[in-house]
Amino acid sequence: MPNEAPAAASADVDYAGLLQEEQASLQAQLKELGFGNQGDTGLSYDSNFADSSQVTAERGEAERLATELRDSLDEVDAALERLSAGTYGTCEACGNPIVAARLEAMPAARFCIADAAKQ
Ligand SMILES: [Zn+2]
């Protein structure tokens, strides 16, 4: 690839809006799973549920999913912080701008494509 990356964050794109949308969607999914409160450890299930192994398996699945959702939420929060700090759209590994197409597809991206592939 020639080193002619287009300018990073495109002025035409409302990254804050995209991030807030994603944030709201992740929070809604967590709520649906019963992990609505941020900072909650997620172990708020009624202990009566623990009788059935099927329920235990489902709970494990829900917790795994909730962990993924929380990780994504952390990424989105971090991206919003970078946005307000003015460092949004810069690769955290190499410091080069992240191409606009990547940010549009993945507004919470913290690495350029090359560095993301190395992670
Ligand atoms: Zn990079």
C-alpha 37/C-alpha 118 separation (Å) is 33
C-alpha 41/C-alpha 104 separation (Å) is 31
Q: In terms of pTM, does the model score above 0.75?
A: no
**56 in Cβ contact with 50 (< 8 Å):** yes
Query: Fold for domain 15-118?
Result: Four Helix Bundle (Hemerythrin (Met), subunit A) (1.20.120)
Question: Ligand 1 centroid vs 84 CA: distance in angstroms?
Answer: 21
Question: Ligand 1 centroid vs 83 CA: distance in angstroms?
Answer: 17
What is the structure's pLDDT at 50?
A: 55
Domain boundaries defined on the chain? 15-118
pLDDT < 50: residue spans in the chain: 1-5, 40, 42, 44
Q: 97 - beta bridge partners?
A: 90
C-alpha 17/C-alpha 36 separation (Å) is 21
C-alpha 101/C-alpha 67 separation (Å) is 27
What is the structure's pLDDT at 49?
A: 52
